[in-house]
Amino acid sequence: MKNNLQNNNPAEKKIEWQNIKKEMRTKFGNDIFESWINKIELVDEYHNYILFSVSTRFIRDWIVSRYLDQILKIIKEHKKDLIRIEFIIKNNKEVEAEDTNLSSKTYNEINKDNISFIKDSYLQYNRIDPNKNFENFITGASNKLAFEASKKVSKDIAHYNPLYLYGGVGMGKTHLLNSIGLELKKNNKVMFISAERFMYQFVKSIKSNEMVKFKDNFRNTDILLIDDIQFMNGKEAMQEEFFHTFNALLDKGSRIIVSADRPPNKLSRIQERIRSRFSGGLVIDIQKPEYDLRKKILNHKINDLTNLYTDKINISEEIRDFVSNKITSNVRELIGAINRIISFSRIYNKLPSLSETKIILKDLLNLNENNVTIDTIQTIVCKFFKISKNEMLSSRRSRYLVRPRQTAIYLTKILTTKSLPEIGREFSNRDHTTIIHSVKTIEKLKEKNSDMSENINKLKNIILYNKENEI
């Protein structure tokens, strides 16, 4: 008999989600809670199973990779018989179509890829996304070699091991790693994990005295895919463990695929012996997308959105050409630009003209034209506040240094495409929670303090339009 997940026992005690959230606020602190935990919504509760929802895959992945174990521990205190939890993406079209039938579905009918188990939760968690495959990866001159090498690895006909892919943010590295994992998991034991997640599990295993278990789990896999290996920079103990794991996998004939934002020889704070092993495989870079590729991606995205909505999205060739020509840094910005244009058309019930498009994309166009860097932001902010860069990047917490530091972090967050960990590295390897706190602090000060708001706007203008002489 199938185990129906619907709770047919009205007397069974349900968890009090709002009370649990209060505990989580205390546990995680206001910043983390508001940024991440508060985004979790309780969908339904069954006998020993809880269904949650979040708005995006990114939020789900962030929560699962960083806070899942603590969340599970807190919930377990209120629901002793809890066996598993599941996150669904509430804005996912397929999920939305099935939402009305969730309660009547059996466990066997539910997508197990979304499930995070209580026991050994990180082992059951897999980043592989079925929607990111080779078929929907759009190729051009800038990424063709990386694409072909990835396909060969997935067919097990490649003789290079490891495969090392590198490129800037939004170039498709994660998509390719995901595609490899998707193909190989049919006949192999695959582990796809971010370097940051690897670090989290490493630290967790040390604290819980489960290092033997940690080693066994990672060294017994057939395929190890690690995303954003640069996050291991400066973490000596974790690098030591990764080195031995790397060697153990090579000795048993397992395949290793790695992505990073820079080539092996530029991983300055990673052990030479690890860099040497990366360099000993096939190293391929993914360049910024050329015009033809940008145009193909843009058209593909518009077609996808057209299929999503009943009314056709008729964006003119003039606007498509303009966006493809002007948004050159990475694919994410390109997709973000087209999303803005489409949002405008739906809000105002009309397609924007070229002049309106330029206004809609003003900040993106300025970013691309002026090539804003973190170094530029730091230099200008330091000059504005009359402090040295060494003082800004120091660990000192004097008020006259903290506010400029927070300001520079905030401007970096809104004026570049850098991720939180990337920003943290450029500010003397500060933790991503520190970056979040800095951004939120400045946002609050802008609302309450007109002088702060004026200073931020003035600094943005100086940075975007190269007006350093106005300081």
Predicted confidence (pLDDT) at residue 122 exceeds the cutoff of 60? no
**Predicted pLDDT at 157:** 65
Tokens of 290: 């050329």
> Looking at the predicted structure, is the pLDDT value of residue 380 above 90?
yes
- pLDDT, tens only, 282-315: 999 998 888 899 999 898 888 877 776 666 678 8
What was the pLDDT predicted at 366?
61
Q: Give the pLDDT band (50/70/90) at residue 88.
A: confident
More confident residue, 137 or 339: 137
Residue 415 has pLDDT above 70, yes or no: yes
Q: Is the dihedral of CA 249, 164, 122, 90 positive or negative?
A: negative
Dist. CA 274–CA 201, nearest whole Å: 20
Q: Which residues contact 7 (CB under 8 A, 6 or more apart)?
A: 45, 46, 47
Domains along the chain? 17-124 (3.30.300.180), 144-285 (3.40.50.300), 291-369 (1.10.8.60), 372-470 (1.10.1750.10)
DSSP secondary-structure letter at 83? -
pLDDT at position 343 is: 82
What confidence score (pLDDT) does residue 94 get? 38
pLDDT of 64 above 80 = no
Please check the confidence at residue 433 and state whether its pLDDT lies above 50. yes
Ranges 220-229, 237-246, 303-312, 349-358: which has the least confidence: 303-312
Burial profile 432-442: b = 16 or more Cβ within 10 angstroms, e = fewer: bbbbbbbbbbb
For residue 11, name the pLDDT band (cuts at 50, 70, 90).
very low
- Looking at residues 53-64, what average pLDDT do you find? 81
Q: Would you say 164 and 176 are in contact if contact means Cβ atoms under 8 Å apart?
A: no
pLDDT score for 112: 42
CA distance 227 to 177: 8
Could you list the beta-strand ranges (E) of 70-122.
84-89, 115-117
Residue 383 is predicted with a pLDDT of 93
Question: What distance in Å separates the CA atoms of residue 443 and residue 220, rounded to the nearest whole number?
Answer: 46
User: What pLDDT is attached to residue 385?
Assistant: 92
Question: What is the band of 237 on the pLDDT scale with cuts at 50, 70, 90?
Answer: confident
Mean pLDDT check: name the lowest of 286-300, 302-316, 429-443, 446-460. Answer: 302-316
Q: In sequence order, what DSSP letters do the residues of 6-66 get, joined into one string? A: S---TTSPPP-HHHHHHHHHHHH-HHHHHHTGGG-EEEEE-SSEEEEEES-HHHHHHHHHH
